Amino acid sequence: MAQNGTKQGKCGFIMKEGAKFLSWKKRFLVIEKDQGKMSYYVKDDKKVKKGEIVIKTIKGVKLFPDYKSRKFVFGIITSTGRTFFVQAADNENVESWMAAIKEAAGLTEGADVPVPQQQGSVTPATATKPEKVCYDDFETLKVIGRGGFGRVLLVKKTDTKKVYAMKVLKKAAIAARGEIEHTRTEQSVLSKLDNPFLARLHWSFQNEDSLYFIMDFINGGELFHHLSKEKCFPEQRAKFYSAQIVCGMEYLHAHGIIYRDLKPENILLSSKGNIVMTDFGLSKEGLTANDSRTATFCGTPEYLAPEIIKGDDYTKAIDWWSVGTLIYEMLTGLPPFYTEDEENMYHKIMTADLRIPATFSPEVADIITKFLKRDPKQRLQDPAQIRAHPWFKDLDWGALERLEITPSFIPHVKSEDAVDHIDEEFLNEDIHQEDEVPVGGPSGKDAFQNFTFAAAQ
């Protein structure tokens, strides 16, 4: 495992534990500080890239002297809740790698951090064990939402009296509709997220019949609700929401996640007026390289990128098409190629000219046009270029990410458990009435191993 350096930073062969199958593979690790990432390759020619770690997400580096009976192992701890386990050749190489990573990430030498719990890994004895919960730890208050596989409840944790949203999904309904993999992906993605503009999962657990997600109760209402009520937003307000969406999307992409379902219904407003992206059931993990591709036809018709409709393999560029579509909709009330006839809408997405209203500023017209390039190679998708676009020239991105900018619109919310912006149809439901489940189909009872999760509180 020879070690050396480049103009960019330290590089060399290491052994790395895989995230999915937990097998160890030899990888050529390179600290590419000028690009803000650490990349690992199959060989030292760097032709086949297997993944990367975004340097700004590194929160600590910790020695694991006897990890799974392996010596010379250290962990690279990230803000996503994942620890990358790496084995070096000897103590000297461990110390060299840890020092180089700390230097690249701007960490104080010797600084220690708690190690997040993650599925499939051994939790060190020194780590604080997250609290485990079950259904009986919560008091159910109201029904606040409903989906194809279950419903969402407003609940209160009996010991702390803190309110949460509890998403309850019936295993039989999920299995009957062939959505087991999507549900597993949603839980896996949520368990890794740590970003102010993305929904936060506190706990997930299950019983014989149901799955439970315990999440923050975001009670400022759906963006869809506010847009329907106001018809369209002023450009400055649309810019504020768009910038926060850019931050959330950049975070997802940096962690190898493609979202695939951006739309007003999946964006909530907090009580302070900031956006929170939700519903990761259509997301896909593992797209760590910039050119990583997938091919599943999924999403909401109005927001589908042309390459999805064509049936081509596609990259994370499809998410930026949906960002452009959403900006247009926030300013006009409708997506740019919308028609009630779905086939006609697909045709327009593929071929119709983009019509920019005269009321748009030149800057917003330009960024929408660049997001809605039909050729994904020409589409605006580099986060650095997006942040530097003239439409965002007056924006302090750091203050935005620290939630230090006061939104121009703050929803009227009386308290943390207020349901002013929840549809009356849900609130009037009997909270004790059980959902019907498919009869005679697969139960899905054994399909959700490793579903239990508890975040550090």
- Any bridge partners for residue 269, and if so which? 275
Catalytic residue among 34, 112, 137, 261: 261
* φ, ψ (nearest 5 deg) of residue 180: -60, -45
Greatest alpha-carbon pair distance for the chain in Å reads 67
How far apart are alpha carbons 87 and 92 in whole angstroms? 12
**Radius of gyration for the chain, computed over Cα atoms and rounded to the nearest angstrom:** 23
How far apart are alpha carbons 371 and 354 in whole angstroms? 11
How far apart are alpha carbons 12 and 351 in whole angstroms? 48
- Any bridge partners for residue 161, and if so which? none
Q: Which pairs count as long-range contacts for 259-263, CB under 8 Å and 24+ apart, including other chains?
A: 259/283, 259/319, 259/322, 260/284, 260/298, 260/299, 260/318, 260/319, 261/298, 261/299, 261/300, 261/303, 262/303, 262/319, 262/322, 262/323, 262/326, 263/224, 263/300, 263/302, 263/303, 263/322, 263/326
How far apart are alpha carbons 360 and 367 in whole angstroms? 11
How far apart are alpha carbons 271 and 273 in whole angstroms? 6
- Any bridge partners for residue 39, and if so which? 30, 52
Which amino acid, 231?
A: K
User: Is the Cβ–Cβ distance between 150 and 166 less than 8 Å?
Assistant: no
| Three-state SS at 267 | strand
Active site residue 319: no
Cβ neighbors of 399 (< 8 A, separation 6 or more) are 405
Nearest Cα neighbor of 317 from 300, 305, 299 is 305
Instruction: Provide the annotated active-site residues.
Output: 261
